[in-house]
Amino acid sequence: MPPPFKKHLFVCLNDRGPDNPRGSCAQKGSESLLKAFKRALDARGLGESIRANKAGCLDNCALGCSVVVYPEGVWYGRVTEADVPEIIEQHLMRDRPVDRLRLYAPQEGGQQTAAPDREPEPPSEGTSRFPSASKAR
């Protein structure tokens, strides 16, 4: 199937090197993560309808590996290769975003607004990943 694709998944591949205090997704394995998404999509016969692309910094560096899925505009953080099957099978195939990995609460109408201008605090064990609405703006 030629473009436009049904969905686009972007994985941040920004690399600031190992000593940068901001961190970066490439230092957390995002290149392997993107390859894992591509392999898993191809293995499910989805490689021509759902595109996994590399992206530059998505401004969630401390919470990488950062991934965003369009057209829904769902942002994921701390994504690892172990999360790939769940994101593909729940979100990309069944349109049910994986809440435990979401960075921002869904907005009215099912879509999120623009990324916040600050990074949310990492969630404590057993708490929601969603920052409060006031923090997300």
Using the rule CB under 6 A, give the single segment among 32-40, 59-67, 103-111, 129-137 that binds ligand FES: 59-67
- The site map against ligand FES for 2-21 (x = CB under 6 A) is ----------x-x-------
Q: Is 8 helix (H, G, I), strand (E, B) or coil?
A: strand
Burial category of 132 from C-beta neighbours within 10 Å (exposed 0-12, middle 13-18, buried 19 and up): exposed
Using the rule CB under 6 A, give the single segment among 38-46, 56-64, 93-101, 128-136 that binds ligand FES: 56-64
**Among residues 101, 80, 83, which one has the least CA distance to residue 28?**
80
Contact at 8 Å (CB) between 101 and 78? yes
Which residue number, 62 or 93, has a Cβ lying nearer to ligand FES? 62
**Residue 101 binding ligand FES, by CB under 6 A:** no
**Residue 61 binding ligand FES, by CB under 6 A:** yes
